[in-house]
Amino acid sequence: MHDERGLYYHPFPANPKTRMYVRRQAAEIHFRLWNADDPDLWEQHGWVPLGAVRAAVAVYKGGGPFDPRTAYDQRVAEALLKDAGQ
């Protein structure tokens, strides 16, 4: 999907108010979270490179509402970017 912010997918399908934006920069995928219920989130958190996501997943112990293993989906991001010709 695409809007004025760029390409995105819904990392939590049950919550369409949350979007994960993706882009390719310097040959690496970057992610950025947006949430309609938290408009400041976009400004407070910038683009996260895939390498940083992998590092976070490596130390993630579970628990809490946000699981980086499911929110940051490399396969979905690659498919979106490919479909967009990026």
Given a cut of 80, whether residue 42 has pLDDT beyond it is yes
Q: Which residues contact 65 (CB under 8 A, 6 or more apart)?
A: none
pLDDT for 68 = 85
pLDDT for 70 = 84
Number of neighbours of residue 80 by Cβ within 10 angstroms: 22
pLDDT for 61 = 82
C-alpha–C-alpha distance, residues 69 and 74, integer Å: 10
> Judging by DSSP bridges, how do beta strands 2-3 and 28-35 pair with one another?
unpaired
Q: Which amino acid is at 76?
A: V
* Domain ranges for the chain: 2-83
